[in-house]
Amino acid sequence: YNFPLFSFIIIIIIIMKKILFTILMLSCLKVSYGQTTEIRVALNSGLFSFAGNGAESVTFINYNEVTNSGNTNNPYGSRGGLGIGLSANVIKIATNNTLVGVDLGYELLRSKIKINSINSSPENMNMDAEGRTYLNANFINLNVFLGYRLAVNNINIDFTGGADVAYNLSSRESGRATASNGYKVKTSTERKAIDFDIRPGIKISANYNKTGAYLGYSLGLVNYKADLDGGKNEACYASILRFGLTYQIN
């Protein structure tokens, strides 16, 4: 069994049961209190990077010419890479305009770091180079949030705060660099350092009729370098600036 995934599924089931129970109870009060429920699908994107002293904007590639393989010395880039995701959410809005909701979906997050040199072995040559490495991380993400809805003419503006519970399906670096003499290298290395991340965040959404758009920010609490050799004194946390489009289906 994949115990981290099994544990995540159990956590999701427990949280979803509590949320669905709460929504069911609120729905039973709908007639008395006029509460409404919205179900939306979302196309998500954003800029994913790493924050902390363990993240860098520039690094180098270690490359072995015998095995024709290599890796990025520090794949945790502080430069934002564009990601994409799909999710669905359920929101319960009370008559006093407070709201509670849950969002569940998949996302591909991509951080970026610049490459300025190649360290080639076994000759132990260091060559100036230009390139970049992306760290591609696949997540199943559950977001639980609370907030307030402000109605401005025909536009509903939601201010929300909550937290992601994210399970890391896989993480892999993809790097390319070209040395000043034309020598080219590529990397593709497994980089899964964590199983779970908790990411508190805030978001503002604007909805007109059934369509909407949002902007949000989340910061992870789990150190990606905590279990790496020499990484315990380095902080490296997920930083996500999200934006996307939504559509109400009910």
Closest CA to 91 of 176, 240, 214: 214
Flag whether pLDDT at 240 surpasses 60: yes
pLDDT score at 245: 97
Average per-residue pLDDT in the chain? 88
Cα 197 from Cα 136, distance rounded (Å): 15
Confidence of residue 124 (pLDDT cuts 50, 70, 90): confident
Structure-derived torsion over alpha carbons of residues 29, 20, 143, 243, reported in degrees to the nearest 10:
-60
Q: Which two tokens stand for residue 171?
A: 């993480």
Q: How many domains does the chain have?
A: 1
pLDDT given for residue 125 in this prediction: 86
Is the sign of the CA dihedral 221, 84, 141, 217 positive or negative? positive
- The secondary structure of residue 224, as a DSSP letter, is T
Q: How confident is the model at residue 1 (pLDDT cuts 50, 70, 90)?
A: very low
Amino acid 31: pLDDT: 46
The residue written with tokens 């132990």 in the block is 124
Give the long-range contacts of residues 27-31, CB within 8 A, separation 24 or more: 27/92
Question: 56 versus 24: which is more confidently predicted?
Answer: 56
Q: What is the pLDDT of residues 219-236, one digit of tens each?
A: 999 999 988 766 567 899
For the residues 84-107, what does the mean pLDDT come to?
94
Q: Which domain holds residue 157?
A: 3-248
More confidently predicted of 23 and 70:
70
List pLDDT tens digits, range 159-170.
Answer: 999 999 999 999
Rg, the chain, Cα only = 22
